[in-house]
Amino acid sequence: MIMINERKTVMAHIEVQADGRSKVVFERYTYNGIRKRGSKIFPKSVTKAEIKRFMAEKEREYLLQTNSAGTHITLKEFVPVYLEMTDKWHSPSTQASDRSLLYNNKHGIVTVLGECRLENIRLRNIQAYIDSMDGLSSKTKANYLMLIRAILGVARKLEYINFVANPAQDVIIKKSKPREIIPYTVEEAQYILKEVDRYNDENTKLIVYLALTCGLRRSEIAGLQIKDIDFDTGVINITHARVSAGGKGDFEKSPKSYAGYRKIYVMDELMKLLKKQRIEKCFNDSAYLLTDNKMKPIKVWQISNKYQTFMNTLNIEYRSLHVLRHTFGSILASGGINVKDLQYMLGHASVVTSMDIYVGSYSDNRKKMTENLQKSLFVS
């Protein structure tokens, strides 16, 4: 028996007939307690999977038939309706992110608010929920709040609730102290590069070099293809990224923002590794830079795993792969780089005007900064 919730708003079960056919019986209770019953008999040729799909479709249909006149549907019951609608236009990564915010941790929206009836959810409930998220950053809290607003917004459109305004609209997020990211020192960065040079995994070498000497994000490293590398001028073109969509695998997408489109000058040491990788693996231009033995692109999560496995061999405190990117920026900043040049090299979105996003030319000054970084990290 499938029970959608404890109050038995919708129930469905399968009865096997004497002749071997399957009968699906549905019962649902309307908001005023009236029980409604329906059934359908399937021939023996219909598979269990097909019957289950029918049951799921019928459950959604019954839920949708419950209207705002007195629905007692809970948030947990409505979430599948919301996901069915929004998955049509959300990217796989957004779908995975939504499900994580809904289900995958102690702060999950469904975990905490799932049993609340839609019509009973008020601003005070959502405010208390957001305030209870100790240890989470303001940005993370905002992600939860935006999803709650979206869910309740769809519920209003579909007339599951008849509030004049979205209950989540005026929730306030108290600003938390930004989490401090401590970069590696120049000496520690030099040590990491020397050790990775001796490490017996070419993919790991490239991961470390691309993050520490180019400041690339993990998604940008994962998305690099041979065609993005100009082996003559020593420039990497960042035009796309590859991200994980949870159980749906990895997929390619645009950079994080328009400012993510940029050109990065490559140090001689990294270019040697890139040329070696291209020769040894006989890449075609459309191939990804980081591949396994079968020439398939390695998974996005494997990039972090490879990095961590390498770092665990060193006599140095482990910090996440993103800290290498932060170290790259810190070394450049300490060298006196122009803020706008630093913003461009890191692919940060402008906080001043849209003009900053459209920096098109890659100046000699930026190339000089790359050369200065090379001198800092590779002391002869």
Q: Per residue in 277-311, is it b (16+ CB within 10 Å) or e — as a string?
A: bbeeeebeeebbbbeeeeeebbbbebbeebbeebb
* pLDDT reported for residue 350: 57
Q: For the chain, what percent of residues have pLDDT higher than 90? A: 37
User: HSE on the CB side for 239, CA within 13 Å?
Assistant: 8
* pLDDT reported for residue 64: 58
Residue 274's identity, in one-letter code, is L
Whole-Å CA distances, 237 to 75, 225, 250: 45, 10, 21
Q: What is the average per-residue pLDDT within 130-146? A: 89
* Sequence-ordered list of residues with C-beta below 8 angstroms from that of 150, at least 6 positions apart, any chain: 82, 86
Question: Architecture of domain 186-377 in CATH?
Answer: Orthogonal Bundle (1.10)
Is the model's pLDDT at 362 over the cut of 60?
no
173 vs 248, higher pLDDT: 173
Choose from 78-82, 171-175, 190-194 the range with maximum mean pLDDT.
190-194
Q: What is the average per-residue pLDDT within 199-215? A: 95
* Per-residue pLDDT reduced to its tens digit, 262-294: 899 999 999 999 998 888 777 676 788 998 888
If you compute the radius of gyration of the chain from its CA atoms, what whole number of angstroms results? 27
Poorest-pLDDT segment among 36-40, 163-167, 321-325? 36-40
Poorest-pLDDT segment among 37-51, 295-309, 317-331, 353-367? 353-367
* Per-residue pLDDT reduced to its tens digit, 16-40: 888 888 888 877 655 444 556 778 8
Domain regions of the chain by residue span: 2-50, 75-157, 186-377
Q: What are phi and psi of 24, to 5 degrees?
A: -95, 125
Six-digit token string for 240 = 């796309």
Q: What is the average per-residue pLDDT within 221-239? A: 92
Residue 162's identity, in one-letter code, is N
Cα torsion at 291, 293, 296, 297 (round to 10°)? Answer: -20
Q: For the chain, what percent of residues have pLDDT higher than 70? A: 83
Residue 6: which pLDDT band, with cuts at 50, 70 and 90?
A: very low
* Mean confidence (pLDDT) of the chain: 81
Is the model's pLDDT at 104 over the cut of 90?
no
Longest dimension (CA), the chain: 86
* Per-residue pLDDT reduced to its tens digit, 231-255: 999 999 999 888 887 666 777 777 7
* Sequence-ordered list of residues with C-beta below 8 angstroms from that of 333, at least 6 positions apart, any chain: 342
Is the model's pLDDT at 355 over the cut of 70?
no
Residue 316: which pLDDT band, with cuts at 50, 70 and 90?
A: very high
Is residue 43 a contact partner of residue 54, using CB atoms and an 8 Å limit? no
Q: What is the average per-residue pLDDT within 7-14? A: 61
* pLDDT reported for residue 269: 93
Residue 361: which pLDDT band, with cuts at 50, 70 and 90?
A: very low
Is residue 261 a contact partner of residue 350, using CB atoms and an 8 Å limit? no
Is the model's pLDDT at 312 over the cut of 90?
yes
* Sequence-ordered list of residues with C-beta below 8 angstroms from that of 206, at least 6 positions apart, any chain: 221, 270, 273, 274, 277, 289, 290
SS3 annotation, 93-121: HHHHHHHHHHHCCCCCHHHHHCCCEHHHC
* pLDDT reported for residue 60: 66
pTM over 0.75: no
Locate tokens 């008020």: which residue?
122
* Per-residue pLDDT reduced to its tens digit, 125-136: 999 999 998 888
Alpha carbon 53 to chain centroid, angstroms = 28
Q: Per residue in 62-95, is it b (16+ CB within 10 Å) or e — as a string?
A: bbeebebeebbbbbbbbbebbbeebeeeeebbeb
Locate tokens 């900053």: which residue?
356
Choose among 52, 54, 114: nearest CA to 82.
Answer: 114
* pLDDT reported for residue 138: 87
* pLDDT reported for residue 304: 94
Spatial separation of the C-alpha atoms in residues 198 and 322, rounded to whole Å:
22
Query: Which SS3 state, helix, strand or coil, does residue 75 take?
Result: helix
Burial of 177 (0-12, 13-18, 19+ CB in 10 A): exposed
